[in-house]
Amino acid sequence: MRRHIAAWLLLSGIAHGAMAQSSVTLFGSVDNGLTYVNNYGGHSLIKMQDGVNKANALGFLGSEDLGGGMRAFFKLENGFSANTGALGQGGLMFGKQAYVGIGQRSLGELSLGRQYDFTVLLEHYLPCLNCGLYGVQNADFDRVSGERLNNALQYVTPTVAGLKAGAMYAFGQNAGAQSTNLGRALSANVQYTYGPFSAAVVLTDINKAPTFAGLLGAPTVLGQSVNPAVPLVVDQQRILGIGATWALGNWSAAALYANTRLELAGRASTDQVLHVGGDWHVQPSLVLAAKLSFDRFEASRWYTATAGIDYLISKRTDVYLDLDAQKASGPGTVASIALTAPSSTDRQFVSRVGIRHLF
């Protein structure tokens, strides 16, 4: 009997030690608010819209210490609508991210699954980041808002002297409409941080990429007539992005340039967009931000001014006001602020008041 008790105590101690080295964290965010658009396909509109300033998410993040500086980890992240309860990303259970990996402190980390490509890192160099997705490129050609790759293998180096890099390969074995890479995809990045300065270069190349070309505001894309409700699958989408930020006291400045080349049926065009702006932390709980954006695609041009006021009620909850105004030029070109329908004219204005909670 004493042997059984001793064995049980020993096994309990081992199990307790193993559990102590593992952790699973529940995390997420909920964003909702009211948006006003002065010209939404020819008429004004007030609507409740969620997941704009921070994509709604519910997820699980796990890690296990394997000893010797090694760890195993996973992430399962779901997107959803706070207004309807519907699953995001086309109804996928873990449509935002779903991957598992292993890492070693001095060698880096390797992960496999559905993951963001590295262009999502450029989001951190987007001025007026808290102003939300209305401030990204009209059709998100540069994928700065954050897009995923299915069947992706990703490697990220440890940080050495402020430098960090990563590489990703996604296998082209997709057929579903929810995939953003019907063919193979490559993505790579290099980041550098030194004190208040940070910069990054990202390159992403995707074969058979669905795009939101109908939301661009141009009458045609690559010679094709486009529809806001129907994705245009291009033969190749290649993105080069360069971003930098500099913080000085209560002020911070940021600049982001993205060059996106699209190819379809032997025809190619390039979208170039530049964002410049910054933030002012008036006090720890109040942030003012503004930016200007310049976008050029074929014969079309878009000029966008964005401003935001963010008030932090607590470390996890804030309320905000966003303002976006856009002017378009070029034959048949209309304004088309991201996440809205194209305007019927060359001008469009969007305002939003909302609340965001992180957990």
Q: What percent of the chain has pLDDT over 90?
A: 88
| Residues 39 and 46: beta-carbon distance below 8 Å | no
The per-residue pLDDT for range 242-271, each reduced to its tens digit, is: 999 999 999 999 999 999 999 999 999 999
One DSSP character per residue, 75-115 reads EEEEEB-TTT--BSGGG-TT-SEEEEEEEETTTEEEEEEEE
For residue 120, is it within any domain? Answer: yes
* pLDDT the model gives residue 173: 79
- pLDDT of residue 163 exceeding 90, the answer is yes
CA distance readout (Å), 202 to 78, 288, 330, 338: 25, 28, 30, 22
Total domain count, the chain: 1
Cα radius of gyration rounded to whole Å, the chain: 22
User: Lowest-pLDDT range, 20-24, 51-55, 107-111, 351-355?
Assistant: 20-24
Amino acid at 191: Q
pLDDT band at 175 (very low <50, low <70, confident <90, very high): low
CA gap 43, 38 in Å, rounded = 7
- pLDDT of residue 144 exceeding 70, the answer is yes
Domain extent, residue 122, equals: 105-358
* pLDDT the model gives residue 181: 87
- pLDDT of residue 150 exceeding 80, the answer is yes
Residue the block writes with tokens 């129907």: 230
CA gap 153, 42 in Å, rounded = 44
* pLDDT the model gives residue 176: 61
| Residues 25 and 339: beta-carbon distance below 8 Å | no
For residue 48, is it within any domain? Answer: no
- pLDDT of residue 139 exceeding 90, the answer is yes
Classify 190 as helix, strand or coil.
strand
For residue 115, is it within any domain? Answer: yes
Interval 270-278 mean pLDDT: 98
- pLDDT of residue 8 exceeding 60, the answer is no
For residue 73, is it within any domain? Answer: no
Interval 123-143 mean pLDDT: 93
Enter the pTM of the model.
0.90
CA gap 310, 266 in Å, rounded = 46
For residue 342, is it within any domain? Answer: yes
CA gap 213, 149 in Å, rounded = 19
- pLDDT of residue 92 exceeding 60, the answer is yes
For residue 34, is it within any domain? Answer: no
pLDDT band at 14 (very low <50, low <70, confident <90, very high): very low
Q: Which of 71, 76, 42 is nearest to 58 (CA)?
A: 76
For residue 65, is it within any domain? Answer: no
Tokens of 37: 């658009």
The per-residue pLDDT for range 208-246, each reduced to its tens digit, is: 999 999 999 999 999 999 999 899 999 999 999 999 999
* pLDDT the model gives residue 180: 82
Interval 168-183 mean pLDDT: 80
Instruction: Give the CATH number of the domain where residue 117 resides.
Output: 2.40.160.10
Amino acid at 164: K
For residue 228, is it within any domain? Answer: yes
pLDDT band at 16 (very low <50, low <70, confident <90, very high): very low
